[in-house]
C-alpha cells in the first residue's frame, strides 16, 4: 500500500509539473470474446478492466503521468481467431496483452508470444493472464513472458480439499465436470488430493458432461441421488452450473456444492433461492469480505454498469502492472517482466506476491457460501437476488502454494 | 426401481416440454410449408414476457398473457413479413425467418441485457408433489406435464372436432378450394402462424423458470427442436409427439448408464490403443449427442420420419 500510494503521489506531482500530458499512452490489448456465446463474459471483463484503468489514470497514470489505455480485440473464444487478433496487436505495436476466457486460448497465445519474442527481441510482448487456470501454464509450459493472476485449478482444488478434509460429516463425494481439458484437470486433482487427505471419503461418481450442451439436468441429479452423494465438487461454469443446481434443488437433493464459479457472471441470478446455503465458491475476493479497500469501488462500478465487480484479480493485475512499470522506470515488456518477478504488493484486496519460479500469483483465497443478505455479515447481495456470499474460511497465501515443475528460461 | 421410475418421469416431462416446443413448428410447417428458423426465438420471447408479466401481475396471468402477446407478434410477423416474402419462394422465406431469429436475439439483448434474468418458479408450485419410495418429485414438473398434455388434448380437439379445425385441415391440402368457398385463407394462415408462436411461448413461460431465461436459450433449444420434427416426420403432430417422448426418455436413460464399449471390445479380444480411446467413452457422456445420432439414422433409413407422409 505504502509503495503504491507513494508512487502514485510522486507520479501525480511529477506529471503535473513536467506537463507530460502529451506523452503516449501505454496500450494494453484485451483479447477476449466480444461476440458469440460468451460475449457477455467478455464484455463484463472489459468493463472491469476499463474501470480499474480509469481509476489508475485518474490517480496520475504510470511512468510520470502517462495513461494506460485498453484496446479491445474480439477473439470469439476461438484459439484460431486469437492468433489473428494477436497479429493485429503486434501490427499496432501494442506490447501488453491480457486474456482470461479459456485455457485453450491462453495456451495458443503463450506459444504465439514465445515465438514472437524470440524472433523480435526488440519488440517483445508480455502476456498477463487473468483467468485461464490450466496448471500447465505455470508448470511444464511456463514462460518468462506469461504471468498468471488467478489461482490455478490445482491451487483451488488444494484449498477446497483442505476445507473438505476438516469436515468429518462428508463421506461420499461426487465429481461433476465439463468434458474438456479444464474439467478433466478438476476431476484428476480432486481424485488425487482427496485420496491423500481423506482416504475414507468415497468418490461415488466421476461424471463428465459435454460443454454447454445439456438442457435438462434432472437425469444426472437422479443418478447422483441414487449414488448417495453428500457433497458435489464441480468446475462447471455458466449454465452448466446454474441449470445443474436448479435441477438438484428441484429434486430435493440436499448435497453441498463446492464450485469454482458459483459467483460468475449471471450464475447467481440464474440460481436464485435454489442455491441458498448449499452453494460454495472459491475466489480471491468477494463483496462481503470486511475491510478491503475495493468495496466502494465495486459499489460504484455496480451502480454504473449494472453488473457485479467480480474479478478482484483484475484490480490486482492492473495495479501490479502499473507498479512494475514504475519501478522498472520503463514500459519495455522485458524490464516490466523482470520487475514483476517476485514482486510483493499490498493491494486493495490484500497482500499478494508474484512467485518468481513460475510467475503464479500468490494471494489469499476465500471459500464462501451463498447466503441470504442481511445487511450485516452479508452486507451486499449479488445480481439483485437478495443473496450474497459469506466467508466460510480465509486461506492464507502461503497455504495455497503448491510446488512447481517450472524451469524458467529467462532471456539473457 | 425407484431410480427407474424417477428417470422415466424425468424423461417423460422433458419429452413433453420438447413436444410443446416442436408442435408449433410442425404445425406451421404443415400449413404454410415454412420451416420457421425463428421458432425457438418465440420460445425465448415467451420466457422473457412470462418473466416480465409475472413480475407485474403474477405467474398465473402471465401464463395466459405472455403467449397471447407473443402470438400477436407472430401473427404480425406473418401478416406483414412472411406473406410479402412468400411471393419470392421458399429460400427467401427461410432467410427471412433466419434473420428474424438474429433480430429477436439482439432485441432481447437490448431490453433485458446479456445475462440471465431472475425468473423463478412461483411459490404456489414450489413444493413436492409426491414421493416415489424415498425420492420426492417436484410439483412444477408435474405441472409442466399437465400443461403440455392439456395442450395436446386441446390441439387435437380443435383440429378434429371444431369448425375452424375443419377449415384449417381443408386449407392444408386444398387451399384454393377453401378460398373459393368463401373462407379467408390468408387469415387462416396468419392465425396458424400466430398460434404456433403462442404455443412456443407457452413452453417458454413454463420452461423459462424451470431452466434458465437468457439470450442464449433460443440457440440452445433450436437444434433439438428440428431433430424432433425431422424424426417425427415433417408436418406430423402425432409424429412430433412420439419423437419428443422418445428423445426425452432415451436421453434420460442414457445418462443413467455407465456402460461403455470397452467391455464389449474386451470380450471381442480387441485391446489396441484405438479400442481404449474409443471404448473409454461412457454412454452417459454420449447421451446429449444421441438425439442427433437418431436423426441421422432416421434420415438414412426413413427420410420421411416416423409418421411423415411426404419424402423430404
Contact A385 B210 (CB under 8 A): no
Residue B299 C-alpha cell reads as: 434420415
Counting every residue written for chain A, the total comes to: 412
> Which stretches in chain B have pLDDT values below 50?
311-312
Interface mutation target, options B118, B125, B127, chain A, most CBs of A under 10 Å? B118
Nearest CA of chain A to the CA of B275: how many Å?
19
Q: How far apart are CA A406 and CA B1, in angstroms?
A: 52
Lowest mean pLDDT of A160-169, A294-303, A394-403, B116-125, name the range: B116-125
Report ipTM for this prediction.
Answer: 0.78
Burial class (CB in 10 A: 0-12, 13-18, 19+), A106: buried
**pLDDT for the residue numbered A77:** 86
Q: From the list B3, B120, B210, which residue is nearest A222 (CB)? A: B3
Nearest CA of chain A to the CA of B231: how many Å?
19
Residues of A in contact with B10 (CB under 8 A): 216, 218-219, 222
**pLDDT for the residue numbered A275:** 85
Identify whether residues A57 and A147 lie together within a single domain: yes
Interface residues on B facing A, Cβ-Cβ cutoff 8 A = 2-3, 6-7, 10-11, 13-14, 113-118, 120, 128, 135-138, 140-141, 210-212, 214-216, 219-221, 224, 251-253, 255-256, 284-285, 287-289
Contact B140 A384 (CB under 8 A): no
Interface mutation target, options B10, B55, B141, chain A, most CBs of A under 10 Å? B10
Contact A223 B211 (CB under 8 A): no
Look at residue A412 and tell me if it is in a domain: no
Question: A202 near A173, Cβ under 8 Å?
Answer: yes
Instruction: Name the residue among A250, A198, A200, A263 with its Cα closest to residue A224.
Output: A250
A-B Cβ pairs (cutoff 8 Å, strict): 104
Identify whether residues A95 and A223 lie together within a single domain: no
Identify whether residues A352 and A371 lie together within a single domain: no
Contact A219 B252 (CB under 8 A): yes
Q: If pLDDT is split at 50, 70 and 90, which confidence band does A14 have? A: very low
Q: If pLDDT is split at 50, 70 and 90, which confidence band does A18 have? A: very low
Q: In chain A, pLDDT over 70 holds for what percent of residues? A: 94
Q: If pLDDT is split at 50, 70 and 90, which confidence band does A372 have? A: very high
Alpha-carbon radius of gyration of chain A: 21
Residues of B in contact with A218 (CB under 8 A): 10, 13-14, 141, 252
Look at residue A255 and tell me if it is in a domain: yes
Contact B251 A252 (CB under 8 A): no
In A, minimum Cα distance to B125 occurs at A250
Identify whether residues A45 and A57 lie together within a single domain: yes
Identify whether residues A256 and A382 lie together within a single domain: yes
State mean pLDDT over A295-307. Answer: 91
**pLDDT for the residue numbered A316:** 95
Q: Assign residue A198 the CATH number of its domain.
A: 3.40.50.2300
Say which residues have a Cβ less than 8 Å from residue B171's Cβ, sequence separation at least 6: B31, B178, B183, B185, B188, B189
Q: What is the extent of the structural domain holding A279? A: 154-283+364-400
Number of neighbouring beta carbons within 10 Å of residue A164: 22
Contact A250 B256 (CB under 8 A): no
Does the pLDDT value for residue A1 go beyond 50? Answer: no
Nearest CA of chain A to the CA of B8: how many Å?
9
Does the pLDDT value for residue A284 go beyond 90? Answer: yes
Q: From the list A43, A223, A384, which residue is nearest B256 (CB)? A: A223
Contact A220 B255 (CB under 8 A): yes
In the sheet that A26-32 helps form, which strands lie side by side, from edge to edge?
A68-74, A26-32, A96-99, A126-129, A146-148
**pLDDT for the residue numbered B211:** 84
In B, minimum Cα distance to A179 occurs at B285
State mean pLDDT over A67-75. Answer: 96
Burial class (CB in 10 A: 0-12, 13-18, 19+), A5: exposed
Look at residue A306 and tell me if it is in a domain: yes
Instruction: Name the residue among A313, A291, A289, A287 with its Cα closest to residue A301.
Output: A287
In A, minimum Cα distance to B258 occurs at A207
State mean pLDDT over A159-164. Answer: 94
Residue B76 C-alpha cell reads as: 404480425
In B, minimum Cα distance to A306 occurs at B113
State mean pLDDT over A78-82. Answer: 94
Contact B256 A265 (CB under 8 A): no
Identify whether residues A316 and A187 lie together within a single domain: no
Using DSSP bridges, classify how beta strands A202-209 and A256-259 pair: parallel, antiparallel or unpaired.
unpaired
Look at residue A411 and tell me if it is in a domain: no
In B, minimum Cα distance to A178 occurs at B285
Look at residue A223 and tell me if it is in a domain: yes
Contact A246 B221 (CB under 8 A): no
Using DSSP bridges, classify how beta strands A361-362 and A350-354 pair: parallel, antiparallel or unpaired.
antiparallel
Look at residue A410 and tell me if it is in a domain: no
Residues of A in contact with B216 (CB under 8 A): 37, 239
Residue A322 C-alpha cell reads as: 502499473
Contact A252 B120 (CB under 8 A): no
Residues of B in contact with A307 (CB under 8 A): 115
**pLDDT for the residue numbered A230:** 94
Look at residue A377 and tell me if it is in a domain: yes
Does the pLDDT value for residue A8 go beyond 60? Answer: no
Identify whether residues A274 and A259 lie together within a single domain: yes
Residue A55, φ and ψ in degrees, nearest 5 = -65, -45
Residues of B in contact with A252 (CB under 8 A): 128, 135-136, 138
Q: If pLDDT is split at 50, 70 and 90, which confidence band does A235 have? A: very high
Number of domains composing chain A: 2
Identify whether residues A344 and A255 lie together within a single domain: no
Lowest mean pLDDT of A15-24, A392-401, B31-40, B245-254, name the range: A15-24
Question: Which residues does residue A258 pair with via DSSP β-bridges, in sequence order?
Answer: A233, A280
State mean pLDDT over A24-48. Answer: 89
Q: A325-351: string of b/e by CB count within 10 Å (b at 16+)?
A: bbbbeebebbbbbbbbbebebebbbbe
Nearest CA of chain B to the CA of A184: how many Å?
13
Residues of B in contact with A204 (CB under 8 A): none
Question: A75 near A81, Cβ under 8 Å?
Answer: yes
Residue B166 C-alpha cell reads as: 375443419
Identify whether residues A133 and A39 lie together within a single domain: yes
Nearest CA of chain A to the CA of B221: how many Å?
8
Residues of B in contact with A265 (CB under 8 A): 115
- Taking only the tens place, the pLDDT of each residue in A302-359 is 999 888 999 999 999 999 999 999 999 999 999 999 999 999 999 888 899 999 999 9
Q: Indicate the angle between helix axes B185-210 and B163-173, nearest 10 degrees.
A: 110
Look at residue A407 and tell me if it is in a domain: no
Handedness of CA B248, B252, B257, B258 (dihedral sign): positive
In A, minimum Cα distance to B257 occurs at A223
CB-facing half-sphere around the CA of A251: CA atoms within 13 A: 26
Identify whether residues A353 and A378 lie together within a single domain: no
Does the pLDDT value for residue A254 go beyond 80? Answer: yes
Contact A250 B141 (CB under 8 A): yes
Residues of A in contact with B138 (CB under 8 A): 250-252
Q: From the list B220, B255, B289, which residue is nearest A223 (CB)? A: B255
Number of neighbouring beta carbons within 10 Å of residue A74: 18
Q: From the list A37, A214, A384, which residue is nearest B216 (CB)? A: A37
State mean pLDDT over A148-153. Answer: 95
Interface mutation target, options A43, A223, A246, A307, chain B, most CBs of B under 10 Å? A223
Identify whether residues A300 and A261 lie together within a single domain: no
Q: How far apart are CA B311 and CA B292, in angstroms?
A: 19
Identify whether residues A222 and A370 lie together within a single domain: yes
Amino acid at each position: 500500500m505504502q509503495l503504491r500510494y507513494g508512487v502514485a503521489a510522486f507520479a501525480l506531482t511529477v506529471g503535473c509539473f513536467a506537463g507530460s500530458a502529451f506523452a503516449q499512452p501505454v496500450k494494453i490489448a484485451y483479447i477476449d470474446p466480444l461476440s458469440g456465446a460468451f460475449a457477455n463474459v467478455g464484455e463484463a471483463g472489459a468493463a472491469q478492466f476499463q474501470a480499474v484503468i480509469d481509476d489508475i489514470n485518474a490517480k496520475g497514470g504510470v511512468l510520470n503521468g502517462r495513461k494506460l489505455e485498453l484496446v479491445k480485440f474480439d477473439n470469439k473464444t476461438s484459439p484460431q481467431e486469437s492468433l489473428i487478433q494477436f497479429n493485429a496487436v503486434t501490427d499496432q505495436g501494442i506490447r501488453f496483452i491480457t486474456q482470461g476466457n479459456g485455457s485453450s486460448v491462453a495456451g495458443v497465445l503463450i506459444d504465439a508470444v514465445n515465438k514472437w519474442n524470440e524472433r523480435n527481441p526488440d519488440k517483445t510482448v508480455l502476456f498477463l493472464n487473468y483467468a485461464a487456470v490450466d496448471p500447465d501454464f505455470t508448470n511444464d509450459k511456463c514462460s518468462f513472458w506469461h504471468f498468471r493472476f488467478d489461482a490455478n485449478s490445482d491451487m483451488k482444488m488444494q484449498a477446497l480439499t483442505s476445507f473438505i478434509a476438516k469436515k468429518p460429516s462428508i463421506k461420499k463425494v461426487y465429481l461433476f465436470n465439463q468434458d474438456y481439458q479444464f474439467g478433466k484437470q478438476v476431476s484428476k486433482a480432486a481424485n488425487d488430493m482427496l485420496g491423500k487427505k481423506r482416504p475414507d471419503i468415497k468418490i461415488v461418481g466421476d461424471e463428465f458432461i459435454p460443454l454447454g450442451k445439456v438442457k435438462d439436468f434432472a437425469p444426472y441429479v437422479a443418478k447422483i441421488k441414487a449414488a448417495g452423494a453428500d457433497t458435489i465438487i464441480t468446475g462447471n461454469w455458466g449454465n452448466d452450473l446454474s441449470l445443474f443446481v436448479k435441477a438438484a434443488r428441484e429434486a430435493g437433493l440436499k448435497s453441498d456444492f463446492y464450485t469454482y464459479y458459483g459467483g460468475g457472471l449471471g450464475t447467481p441470478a440464474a440460481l436464485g433461492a435454489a442455491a441458498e446455503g448449499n452453494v460454495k465458491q472459491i475466489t480471491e475476493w468477494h463483496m462481503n469480505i470486511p475491510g478491503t479497500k475495493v468495496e466502494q469501488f465495486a459499489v460504484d462500478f455496480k451502480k454504473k454498469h449494472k453488473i457485479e465487480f467480480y474479478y478482484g484479480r483484475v484490480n490486482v493485475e492492473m495495479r501490479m502492472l502499473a507498479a512494475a512499470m514504475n519501478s522498472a522506470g520503463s514500459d519495455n515488456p522485458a524490464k516490466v517482466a523482470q520487475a514483476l518477478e517476485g514482486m510483493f504488493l499490498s493491494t486493495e484486496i490484500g497482500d499478494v506476491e508474484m512467485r518468481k519460479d513460475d510467475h503464479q500469483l500468490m494471494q489469499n483465497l476465500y471459500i464462501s457460501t451463498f447466503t441470504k443478505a442481511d445487511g450485516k455479515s452479508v452486507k451486499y447481495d449479488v445480481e439483485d437476488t437478495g443473496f450474497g456470499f459469506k466467508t466460510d474460511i480465509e486461506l492464507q497465501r502461503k497455504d495455497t502454494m503448491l510446488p512447481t515443475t517450472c524451469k524458467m528460461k529467462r532471456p539473457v | 426401481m425407484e431410480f427407474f421410475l424417477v428417470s422415466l418421469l424425468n424423461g417423460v416431462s422433458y419429452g413433453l416440454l420438447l413436444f410443446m416446443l416442436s408442435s408449433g413448428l410442425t404445425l406451421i410447417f404443415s400449413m404454410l410449408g415454412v420451416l420457421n428458423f425463428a421458432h425457438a426465438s418465440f420460445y425465448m420471447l415467451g420466457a422473457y414476457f412470462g418473466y416480465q408479466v409475472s413480475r407485474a401481475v403474477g405467474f398465473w396471468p402471465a401464463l395466459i398473457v405472455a403467449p397471447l402477446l407473443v402470438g400477436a407478434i407472430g401473427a404480425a410477423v406473418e401478416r406483414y413479413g412472411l406473406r410479402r416474402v412468400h411471393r419470392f419462394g421458399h429460400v427467401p422465406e427461410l432467410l427471412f425467418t433466419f434473420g428474424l431469429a438474429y433480430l429477436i436475439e439482439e432485441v432481447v439483448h437490448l431490453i433485458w441485457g446479456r445475462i440471465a434474468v431472475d425468473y423463478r418458479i412461483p411459490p404456489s408450485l414450489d413444493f413436492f408433489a409426491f414421493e416415489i419410495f424415498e425420492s420426492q418429485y417436484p410439483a412444477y414438473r408435474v405441472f409442466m406435464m399437465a400443461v403440455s398434455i392439456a395442450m395436446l388434448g386441446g390441439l387435437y380437439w380443435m383440429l378434429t372436432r371444431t369448425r375452424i379445425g375443419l377449415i384449417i385441415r381443408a386449407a392444408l391440402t386444398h387451399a384454393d378450394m377453401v378460398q373459393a368457398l368463401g373462407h379467408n385463407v390468408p387469415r387462416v394462415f396468419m392465425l396458424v402462424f400466430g398460434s404456433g408462436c403462442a404455443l412456443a411461448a407457452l413452453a417458454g413461460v413454463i420452461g423459462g423458470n424451470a431452466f434458465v431465461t437468457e439470450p442464449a436459450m433460443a440457440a440452445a433449444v433450436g437444434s433439438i427442436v428440428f431433430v424432433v420434427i425431422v424424426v417425427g416426420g415433417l408436418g406430423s403432430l402425432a409424429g412430433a409427439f412420439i419423437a419428443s417422448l422418445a428423445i426425452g426418455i432415451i436421453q434420460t436413460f442414457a445418462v443413467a448408464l455407465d456402460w461403455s464399449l470397452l467391455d464389449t471390445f474386451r470380450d471381442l479380444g480387441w485391446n489396441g490403443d484405438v479400442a481404449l480411446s474409443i471404448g473409454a467413452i461412457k454412454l452417459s457422456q454420449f447421451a446429449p449427442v444421441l438425439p442427433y445420432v437418431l436423426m441421422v439414422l432416421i434420415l438414412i433409413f426413413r427420410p420421411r420420419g416416423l409418421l411423415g407422409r411426404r419424402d423430404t
